[in-house]
Copies of this chain bind each other. A is one copy, B any other.
C-alpha cells in the first residue's frame, strides 16, 4: 500500500463498492486526499492535468461527486463561488473569508461537539430526523483581508 491513510480508506471503499480504478481516478483521489487547501473542481482539474493533460473537467466533476456520495469527501459551499472539496472528513469547521474566499480549517474537538450537540441541540430536532453530516462555518475576514 502506501502511507496515506485517507487514500487507502478511499481505495478500499472504491474496491468494496465494485467501482473500477482508472489512472485519472487514482490521481484525483490522491490529490483530494493529500490537499489541505479545499480545492474547487477546477483546481483539482488543473492539478490532474499536470500528469494527464488529456483529462476532462467532466471526469473530475464525476469523480468528486462520486466521492461525495460515498461520503469520502465533503462538499463546502462558500458564499462567493463554486463548490470546494475537502478530503478530510473528520469533524472540523471552516472559517471562510468573505473577501478573498480562503477557507481555513477550524479544529473542533469531537467530544466537546458531540456533547454540545447531544445536550443542547438534538432535542430541538424532530425525533426521526436522521443526521448524517455536520457543517460549522464561520464567515468573516481573515487576518490578511482585515487590514484593508
- A interface with B by C-beta (< 8 Å): 75, 77-79, 93, 95, 98, 104, 106-109, 112-113, 116, 120-121, 124-143, 146
Contact = CB atoms under 8 A, between A and B. Distances in A.
Question: Which 3 A-B pairs have CB atoms at the shortest separation, nearest pair first?
Answer: A77-B77, A135-B137, A133-B139
A125 B106 contact: yes
B109 A138 contact: no
Copies assembled: 2
8 contacts: A95-B125, A95-B131, A108-B121, A127-B143, A130-B141, A133-B139, A133-B140, A136-B137
Nearest to A123: B107
Given A78-B77, A108-B120, A131 B125 contact: no
